[in-house]
A and B are shown apart, each in its own frame.
Chain A
Amino acid sequence: MKESITIVLSGEAGQGLQTVEEFLVESLTHETYVFSSKEVMSRVRGGNNSVEIRISNHPIQALRYTIDYLFLFNNHSLERLLPRLHSKTQIIGEDSFLTDDQKKQFNFNEVNFIEIAKQAGNRLYFNIAMFGFISGLLNSSKTFAHQTITKRFIRKGEDVVNGNITAFNLGYDLAQDSSLKLDFKPNENFKPLKVLTGNDVLSIGALAGGVNYLAAYPMSPGTTLMQLLEAKTHDFGVLVEQAEDEIAALNMVIGAWYAGARAMTTTSGGGFALMTEAVSLAGITENPAVIHVAQRPGPATGLPTRTEQADLNLVLYAGHGEFPRVIFAPGKLSSGVELMARSFHLADKYQIPVFMLSDQYWLESLAQTDDITIPRNYSKNHIIETERDYKRYAFDPSGLSPRGIPGLGKGFVKVDSDEHDEEGLLTESFDMRVRMHEKRLNKFNLMKEDLLEPSVEGNPTKKNLVIGWGSTYGVIHEIVTSNPELTHVHFEHVYPLPDSVESLLRDADKIVVIENNATGQFANLLQMTFGIKLNNRILKYNGEPFHVDELEQKLKEKAYV
């Protein structure tokens, strides 16, 4: 585990926790490593939400369970976080936020941010006063903070900018004079990094993949991607359609591809359940489709605003009948761009459905990244101009039937959800059925050249493997970098799996699989694919992502570290 400071803000929905988070992360990323994530209740106002901002002088992309500094926004935001306090946790807030007993029991520091805000001219500046206070604790640069404030408030006028800067300075100076002030020294070699969310990188990846049509029905946490691409409608030419339901959404995506668009949908498990008939449709019509499934805990409505990795099986087996598909699950931010763009490329190249399987935690956390170069060869259409005798399902020596679209060329593009002949006319011929079915399934072989190997980090002997997939990258990475005996094997291309994985598994002495679900769906997939028992699993399914201290403890219990 890295040296780090964990700051948690706790309050109601609508109290502006996210404002403090965004300002702080945006300003700190000029000076040091930072990662933040929020956990919210499924409501618009009230309840208890919290934001964790973790600061370190080493790269991090994971949360800690134990809290060093807890900032309270009201008198009912402590209770839920009590298990996360340790003997040195400092609690900061107004006098009335804690009971007398709690004040005696914990390290409580009275600071009234609303009073500070009022001194600066408006009680609404209290989040910025808190931002100032935290910056003061960390001794971070006022200049970057002032820049952030100016950038964010410039549209509201000079008075608002100045008022907020005053509030920031008052908070900052108060912290500098307080005993809480930290001796935090940023890493001298630090170079400023970009801060992005998973949603951000997926939207950019989709644009790099050439997306120009999106049909979706809103469902958390899949909706943000729809909104981000809608925001790009005019600058990038993305036609966004809010469909009447998920059934329509994926059927429309498939219709759009058929007519030459590069189309995607975004949803969560419950919405995707409705789409499954159309996944199968993409299979038999050999029509591309790109489907983003943002996981949240189920079954059914489950925990709408929380996180889980429990829809791998759903995505893997969705759709009646047998047909090829590809499933990506990004872990690194840069992979979000690459794999989202690649989804369009592979869907088009192989005429198959391709899934991007993310989750609430990965999508909504603010993480840092080096510069990302977008892939340049994933936005081109794999379509042909048809000849008069064109046959959509021709048995081509390449194994793939060249895809025409209606209106481009002299031929007809006949597509059928029934079993069909080369021309696309429905058929009841058993022989034709077998040939068409084998043509479709043979794409599993053709695809082998495009399967991505898992990333392997840490100990080069590869004897003690810690296996993860998707959003657990950051938390496992941090543990493995400080436990040199471990090798981290991480899958972002989760299906189909490359053959080389078998020897990696067979040659290891110990293997533990880490998953954010209750049954170890990916471990089961590995077992089934390679015939190797993987009984050693660390699973979490309470709706939260793994915390680095918690996971390290569990690995200790299993005598892994």
Chain B
Amino acid sequence: MSNFNFNYDIDMAWCPGCGNFPIRDMIIEALNELNLDPTQVVFSSGIGQAAKMPQYIDSNYFNGLHGRGLSVASAISAVNPELVVIAEGGDGDMYGEGGNHLIHNIRRNPNLLHIVHDNMVYGLTKGQAAPTSPIGLVTPTQIDGVYNEPINPMALALSLGATFVARGFSGDKQKTKELIKQAIQHKGYAILDIFHPCVTYNKINTFAWFKRNTYWLDETHDKTNLQDALKVALNLDKLACGILYQNNDTPDYHTRNPFYQGNLTPLYKRERDLDKVQELL
């Protein structure tokens, strides 16, 4: 029986009532229920309140730079196919600073789960707009309200060919936990955008707002149909949770990269033949 939970106290840096707490519980439960070996799991995160998550889970982590969690995760997965890799961060980290890496890692289809905490505002830098902030949100850097269109991460990921596109909500623990489990088991890149309220800085997108403005997809939704998924993602009147899209036919990074050719031995276990190098001279 695995256990990703700390057995000691730690002073977590989140505000009381933060949506990050239930997300942490879900991740730990999902990993425990999948019976994964904590030494074989790696979290890679950037900077922000969400990116502190790996500090509070008993596992390996690389807590690097703002926006780069996905790049580091992608490389970790590339060089050691045996590891379970999770990139995690907030909307600013992953959709703003790391936007270019999001686009291009979707193209790579790496074997990893990409969790994005989406509370539509910046937390650690104290309340500025996020790429997902709604028009009109008043912030210290947008005193007359946000006037740029928010990003639609689900539609973006779908249009780029992401092979697993899902959305959860911190207020729906059981369902979101199941999404995490399915996303980890997906072969290829899985993006899971998790809505959660920021109790300190976002007075528009509150817990009640999310409850009112989201719904869960049911079995009538064909998650293998990209057109249907896009239609759902583009409907902003009511925001869908659940697996919008899953495609198991596209080969993952390790399958499509001619480097591996079926041999998934991690790079650190491979020896260099120095005699062969000498022959080059």
A and B: real partners? yes
Does B278 reach chain A (CB closer than 8 Å)? yes
With A215-B75, A248-B101 as contacts: A236 and B63 at CB distance below 8 Å: no
Of B44, B54, B83, B274, the residue contacting A407 (CB under 8 A) is: B83
Instruction: Report A230-255 residues with CB < 8 Å from chain B CB.
Output: 233-237, 239-241, 243-245, 247-248, 251-255
With A260-B80, A278-B68, A281-B65 as contacts: A241 and B75 at CB distance below 8 Å: yes
With A233-B259, A244-B100 as contacts: A252 and B72 at CB distance below 8 Å: yes
With A253-B75, A259-B79, A406-B83 as contacts: A285 and B64 at CB distance below 8 Å: yes
A residues near B64, Cβ cutoff 8 Å: 251, 254-255, 281, 285, 415, 417
Q: Which of A369-377, A498-506, A543-551 contacts B (4 or more CB under 8 A)?
A: A369-377
In the complex, per-residue mask of B265-281: 1 if CB is within 8 Å of any chain A CB, else 0: 01110101110111011
Cα-based distance from A244 to B259 in the complex (angstroms): 19
A residues near B227, Cβ cutoff 8 Å: none
Whether the Cβ atoms of A247 and B68 lie closer than 8 Å is yes
* Interface residues of A, count at CB 8 A: 63
Nearest-CB residue, chain A, relative to B268: A260
Cα-based distance from A414 to B270 in the complex (angstroms): 24
Instruction: Report A399-434 residues with CB < 8 Å from chain B CB.
Output: 405-418, 424-426
Binding site for B on A (CB under 8 A): 194, 204, 207-208, 210, 212-213, 215, 233-237, 239-241, 243-245, 247-248, 251-256, 258-263, 277-278, 281, 285, 337, 371-374, 376, 379, 381, 383, 405-418, 424-426
Cα-based distance from A437 to B44 in the complex (angstroms): 23
Whether the Cβ atoms of B278 and A373 lie closer than 8 Å is yes
Does B104 reach chain A (CB closer than 8 Å)? yes
In the complex, per-residue mask of B136-152: 1 if CB is within 8 Å of any chain A CB, else 0: 00000000000000000
Whether the Cβ atoms of B72 and A405 lie closer than 8 Å is no
Whether the Cβ atoms of A259 and B63 lie closer than 8 Å is no
Whether the Cβ atoms of B267 and A239 lie closer than 8 Å is yes
Interface band, chain B = 35 or more
Whether the Cβ atoms of B75 and A252 lie closer than 8 Å is yes
Whether the Cβ atoms of B62 and A415 lie closer than 8 Å is yes
Does B204 reach chain A (CB closer than 8 Å)? no
Does B172 reach chain A (CB closer than 8 Å)? no
Known: A207-B277, A237-B270. 20 other contacts (CB 8 A): A212-B267, A236-B277, A239-B79, A248-B68, A248-B104, A252-B74, A255-B62, A256-B78, A256-B267, A260-B268, A261-B79, A261-B268, A374-B278, A376-B274, A406-B42, A412-B60, A414-B61, A415-B62, A416-B63, A424-B61
Of B39, B73, B78, B100, the residue contacting A213 (CB under 8 A) is: B78
Cα-based distance from A155 to B249 in the complex (angstroms): 40
**Minimum distance in angstroms from A231 CB to a CB of chain B:** 11
B residues near A256, Cβ cutoff 8 Å: 75-76, 78-79, 267
Whether the Cβ atoms of B39 and A374 lie closer than 8 Å is no
**Minimum distance in angstroms from A311 CB to a CB of chain B:** 22
Whether the Cβ atoms of B78 and A210 lie closer than 8 Å is no
Top 7 closest pairs, chain A to chain B, by CB: A260-B268, A255-B75, A255-B72, A244-B104, A406-B60, A252-B75, A261-B79
Whether the Cβ atoms of A372 and B39 lie closer than 8 Å is no
**Minimum distance in angstroms from B263 CB to a CB of chain A:** 9
Does B174 reach chain A (CB closer than 8 Å)? no
Cα-based distance from A410 to B199 in the complex (angstroms): 38
A residues near B55, Cβ cutoff 8 Å: 416, 425-426
Cα-based distance from A314 to B278 in the complex (angstroms): 34
With A237-B270, A277-B65, A281-B65 as contacts: A413 and B60 at CB distance below 8 Å: yes
B residues near A254, Cβ cutoff 8 Å: 64, 72, 75
Whether the Cβ atoms of A260 and B79 lie closer than 8 Å is yes
Task: Provide a sorted-by-A list of 23 A–B residue pairs whose CB atoms are within 8 angstroms.
Answer: A213-B79, A234-B259, A237-B272, A243-B71, A251-B68, A252-B78, A255-B44, A255-B64, A255-B72, A255-B73, A255-B76, A256-B78, A258-B62, A259-B266, A260-B268, A261-B80, A261-B268, A262-B267, A381-B268, A411-B39, A416-B61, A424-B61, A425-B55
Whether the Cβ atoms of A251 and B280 lie closer than 8 Å is no
Whether the Cβ atoms of A407 and B39 lie closer than 8 Å is yes
Nearest-CB residue, chain B, relative to A386: B39
Whether the Cβ atoms of A213 and B267 lie closer than 8 Å is yes
Cα-based distance from A151 to B267 in the complex (angstroms): 36
**Minimum distance in angstroms from B240 CB to a CB of chain A:** 29
Cα-based distance from A258 to B63 in the complex (angstroms): 11
Whether the Cβ atoms of B259 and A258 lie closer than 8 Å is no
Whether the Cβ atoms of A407 and B272 lie closer than 8 Å is no
Does B58 reach chain A (CB closer than 8 Å)? yes
Whether the Cβ atoms of A412 and B59 lie closer than 8 Å is yes
B residues near A418, Cβ cutoff 8 Å: 63
With A204-B277, A412-B60, A417-B65 as contacts: A239 and B101 at CB distance below 8 Å: no
Whether the Cβ atoms of A212 and B272 lie closer than 8 Å is yes
With A204-B277, A252-B74 as contacts: A259 and B42 at CB distance below 8 Å: yes
**Minimum distance in angstroms from B279 CB to a CB of chain A:** 10
**Minimum distance in angstroms from B24 CB to a CB of chain A:** 15
**Minimum distance in angstroms from B266 CB to a CB of chain A:** 6
Does B40 reach chain A (CB closer than 8 Å)? yes
Instruction: Report B39-70 residues with CB < 8 Å from chain A CB.
Output: 39-40, 42, 44, 47, 52, 54-55, 58-65, 68
